[in-house]
A and B are shown apart, each in its own frame.
Chain A
Amino acid sequence: MKKKFDNQAQYFKYKVLKEVIKSQKNDNLIKDLLVIPQRIIPGPVAETRCCIYKERAIINERVKNVIYEYNDNVVNVIDLACDECPVYRFTVTEACRGCLAHHCRENCPVGAIEIINKRAHINQEKCIECGKCSAVCPFEAISDVKRPCITSCKIKAINIETDTKKAIINQDECINCGACVSRCPFGAITDKSHVLDIMKLIHNSNSNTKYKVYCIVAPAIAAQFPDAELDNIVTAIKQLGFYQVVEAAIGADIIADYESKLLEEELKTKNFITSSCCPAFVRYIKIKYPELIDNISTAVSPMIATARLIKNSDKDAKVVFIGPCVAKKAESAQDNLSDDINYVMSFEELVAYLDAYEIEPSQCESSPLDNASYFGRIFARSGGVTEAIRNSAAKQNLDLELRPVVCNGLEECDRALKLAKLGKLNGNFIEGMACIGGCVNGPVSLFKKPSGTNIINSSALSAKNKDTTDFMKTYNIDEFNLNI
């Protein structure tokens, strides 16, 4: 495995994407379909499953997920790949000594534990998964294993299907945060890919003569390619056929400015407002705290603001967003926003795309990418939105006393929202980010290490524009709508 991936499951996802893109590029996809699984799983020994034939069958399913659009869901379970995780949460391990005390049996509230042959046994039919047996065992002999997908899903939208034991996603509740996508150790949950649509979009543009295909990059891109500078990555992306690369951080600059004015106005009548740049957080509120919907900021996300900026200057423009986020894929498909963004591509898909075209960012010349300010760029990490809004409010001398509650990850978001619902929130602005650390740790990014935040900060410091309004001076923002 090359070092650029977070783990081996991501590497396999990449290999599938790369092979499909390569075949499509050579106009050979149909011919290659049956050989791609063999290329990726050459055998003869199976690495993770019972045999190479099952491994190949799973690759086949992954290929199907890239090529076909089965449904409107952004996050889907690959059934065949999901089947080997334990279903029962508490099990007695070898460490059980069959002791005299039997704390486990005595503490089980439902009588699910029996002692058979000097060993404790859990009757799984009776077990209610309270965990008391595990907590009291002096040998720590009762293991607590939850399926990683279920642990990762903070809105509890994943269940196990009783007959097949496979994970199923309740799509009405799924917020598309992508946590399960990155946390399933078998890579059995995947996000919808539009990479083939993007290739067609570029191809049909006739080298950007029929219409122009712009690419918006999320500020988290600074942390994705450790061996290349941002300027080199821009050239690499252009070599894929994009007309121009634009920073989403420009949109973040615009939104910071707009949001601060909005807050000044809204807080006259409302107790608090939540940020609206993280689509998973916004959907979390809509599903779990519908009574707080009116407190969600009406500002569009930086991605949408940047897209509107581009389409305002070029009405035939096509826009692709590249980022670390699964929820952006869902956001771009929303009825009221689908005119703004044509497709969303993940960093995982980007690196597969570049490699399929044999483009190595570190070998590319540099094209400058420097439109946004420090503040727009720090939107990619937790706390950045708040800092940017505070700066904008001060610069404009707004009558705004910002008392922020910065929520890093969905668990912190939930805590703040719960308090807000009870009227006990200690603040008037909730900055909500579904991913811990912020976008830089997004589920479909390649680099998920704590140092990501530092990389974002230094990329932000290198921006020539120091203030959110520097770029806006060149642009008439009043010309387009910044509300959802």
Chain B
Amino acid sequence: MVNLSICVGSACHLKGSYEVIEKFKTCVENNNLNDSIVIKASFCLGQCTEAVSVKYKDNIYSVTPETAEKFFDEVIKKSIA
């Protein structure tokens, strides 16, 4: 199991944490990755200017609701596959 943490602190929340989480949930579902990835909300990842912050395997990325799917395919799926 790998954690995928999405910041829900105010800065990120306002820029669409919820949408990002929803997109990720769909991606996990569509790719049958329920057993390998846990989506978790987190209070502040310390990168408020780069909202929405997403933490995956000790790296912090900046993701928006628009780029969420692309990010999932390029970073997460690749690392798991």
| Residues in A lying within 8 Å of B, measured CB to CB | 214, 234, 243-244, 246, 309-310, 313-314, 367-371, 464, 470-471, 473-476
Contacts and interface: CB of A to CB of B under 8 A. Distances in A.
Interface stretch (B27-35, B38-46, B69-77): B38-46
Nearest to A247: B10
26 contacts: A214-B43, A243-B44, A243-B46, A244-B9, A244-B44, A246-B9, A246-B43, A309-B43, A310-B43, A313-B5, A367-B11, A367-B48, A368-B10, A368-B14, A370-B13, A371-B9, A470-B18, A471-B13, A473-B18, A474-B6, A474-B8, A474-B13, A474-B18, A474-B21, A475-B41, A476-B41
Describe B's contact surface by its main secondary structure. mixed
Contact of A313 (B18, B21, B43, B48): B43
Interface of B: 5-6, 8-11, 13-14, 17-18, 21, 40-44, 46, 48
Contact of B10 (A369, A473, A476): A369
A367 B41 CA distance: 20
A473 B18 CA distance: 7
A157 B19 CA distance: 53
A41 B6 CA distance: 52
Contacts of A314: 42-43
Given A246-B9, A369-B10, 11 more contacts: A243-B44, A244-B44, A246-B43, A313-B40, A314-B42, A314-B43, A371-B8, A474-B6, A474-B13, A474-B18, A475-B8
A363 B18 CA distance: 32
Listed residue (B6, B10, B14, B46) with the most chain A CB atoms within 10 angstroms of its CB? B10
Contacts of B46: 243
A314 B42 CA distance: 7
A243 B17 CA distance: 19
Nearest to B10: A368
**Chain A contact residues, majority secondary structure:** loop
Contacts of B48: 367
Contacts of B17: 474
A117 B41 CA distance: 81
Contacts of B43: 214, 244, 246, 309-310, 313-314
Contacts of A471: 8, 13
Smallest CB-CB A-B distances: 10 pairs: A244-B44, A368-B10, A474-B8, A313-B42, A474-B18, A475-B41, A369-B10, A370-B10, A474-B41, A368-B11
Given A474-B17, A474-B21, A371 B44 contact: no
A367 B10 contact: yes
B21 to A, nearest CB: 6
Contacts of B42: 313-314
Contacts of B14: 368, 370, 464
